């Protein structure tokens, strides 16, 4: 007897119309970014001479010549993430997954034969390389003043600090402005440091954080680790551990990075989209609380604490033998280093195969 085809519930007319609308939305949502790119390129978001409607917060980030809390325009991020190079790499994602290469290059490297922020990209397309670097700087610098206000106590008592991959020193200068007693080092590659004029405010050091980090009471990694694999992160954190003194001497490592897992659907979607950006362009990824716990432990840190979550980012402090405290939306919760002791609604609910070891 022939097997019967499985029966399927027939959607109602209303459900079919809604499904069609949903299909259009998902298929065409990339045009939102393309339209935004077009507006930026045409100068449609330039600050007008005559009065006009009040800008929403997102618009403030894209207007030339408007500085909010010292933050410059973020339009380079729009141009970078909608660039031909990024779109081509994203379109090659399925082919990339089918390849068996160890260790695998990023999809961006696989398609273009060049690595973001390295000389190979500058040789491939100097103008796009410039935009990518501007986007990186805009991404890194946004929100530092908010962090310094919201996490003020984190920097109290710190006498010296090394900002790893600190670029032109914008973040370090903001720290010195808020805490004049802190002596700041900025560590970055020689090709970056050579382009930065000495300002007498911070000390610029050319080097590689995989090999050695200038000793300081505190070492900071601001939006650095999500560019790297778990193994690379463990090596970086191990170097950080060597650079700081004991807990009794005030030694600490400060990580400012995305912590995947939010009660807000919109914020969680944003975190996962940025994770996709890392997947396409780098060999790194975003991490949830369990992922952070794993790499901290493997790097030799016995305890740590998430001080605060600010939007999609978390501010994480690591010391040896300290009772950790977890901050979620301003509510203080006692937690152990193994996140299993946290309430279930606090632990990350995001489970993805890419997150597995």
Judged by DSSP in three states, 207 sits in: coil
**Beta strands per DSSP E along the chain:** 160-164, 183-188, 203-206, 218-222, 252-260, 287-288, 303-310, 313-319, 325-328, 331-334
| 135 vs 128: CA distance, rounded Å | 10
Closest to 95 (Cα-Cα) out of 108, 82, 107: 107
The bridge status of strand 252-260 relative to strand 218-222 is: parallel
Cis amide bond preceding 103, omega within 30: yes
Distance, CA of 238 to CA of 296 (rounded, Å): 9
Q: Which residues make Cβ contacts (< 8 Å) with residue 222, sequence separation at least 6?
A: 140, 144, 163, 165, 166, 171, 254, 255, 256, 257
Query: Distance (Å, rounded) from C-alpha 109 to C-alpha 259?
Result: 26
Residue 249 three-state SS? helix
**Options 85, 112, 133, 226, the catalytic residue:** 226
Tokens representing residue 63 in the block = 């207007």
> What is the distance between the terminal CA atoms of the chain, rounded to a whole angstrom?
47
Judge whether 213 and 162 are in contact, CB under 8 Å.
Answer: yes
Residue 226 is among the residues annotated as catalytic for this protein: yes
Which residues does the annotation mark as catalytic? 226
């Amino acid at each position: 007897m022939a097997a019967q085809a499985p029966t399927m519930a027939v959607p109602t007319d209303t459900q079919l119309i809604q499904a069609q609308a949903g299909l259009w939305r998902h298929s065409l949502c990339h045009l939102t970014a393309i339209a935004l790119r077009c507006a930026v390129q045409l100068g449609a978001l330039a600050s007008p001479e005559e009065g006009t409607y009040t800008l929403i917060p997102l618009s403030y980030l894209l207007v030339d010549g408007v500085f909010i809390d010292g933050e410059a325009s973020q339009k380079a991020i729009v141009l970078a993430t909608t660039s031909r190079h990024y779109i081509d790499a994203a379109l090659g994602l399925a082919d990339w997954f089918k390849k068996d290469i160890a260790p695998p290059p990023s999809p961006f490297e696989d398609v273009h034969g060049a690595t973001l922020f390295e000389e190979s990209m500058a040789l491939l397309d100097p103008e796009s390389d410039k935009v990518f670097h501007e986007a990186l700087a805009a991404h890194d610098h946004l929100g530092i003043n908010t962090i310094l206000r919201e996490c003020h106590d984190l920097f109290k008592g710190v006498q010296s600090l090394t900002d790893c991959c600190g670029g032109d020193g914008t973040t370090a200068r903001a720290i010195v402005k808020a805490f004049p007693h802190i002596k700041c080092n900025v560590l970055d590659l020689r090709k970056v440091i050579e382009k930065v004029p000495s300002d007498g405010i911070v000390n610029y050091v050319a080097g590689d954080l995989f090999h050695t980090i200038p000793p300081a009471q505190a070492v900071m990694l601001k939006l650095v680790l999500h560019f790297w694999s778990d193994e690379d992160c463990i090596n970086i954190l191990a170097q950080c551990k060597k650079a700081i003194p004991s807990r009794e001497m005030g030694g600490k490592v400060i990580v400012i990075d995305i912590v995947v897992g939010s009660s807000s659907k919109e914020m969680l979607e944003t975190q996962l989209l940025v994770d996709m950006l890392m997947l396409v362009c780098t060999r790194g990824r975003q991490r949830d609380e369990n992922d952070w716990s794993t790499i901290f432990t493997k790097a030799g840190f016995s305890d740590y604490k998430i001080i605060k979550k600010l939007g999609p980012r978390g501010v994480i402090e690591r010391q040896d033998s300290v009772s950790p405290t977890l901050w979620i939306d301003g509510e203080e919760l006692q937690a152990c280093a193994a996140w299993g002791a946290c309430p279930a609604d606090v632990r990350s609910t995001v489970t993805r195969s890419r997150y597995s070891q």
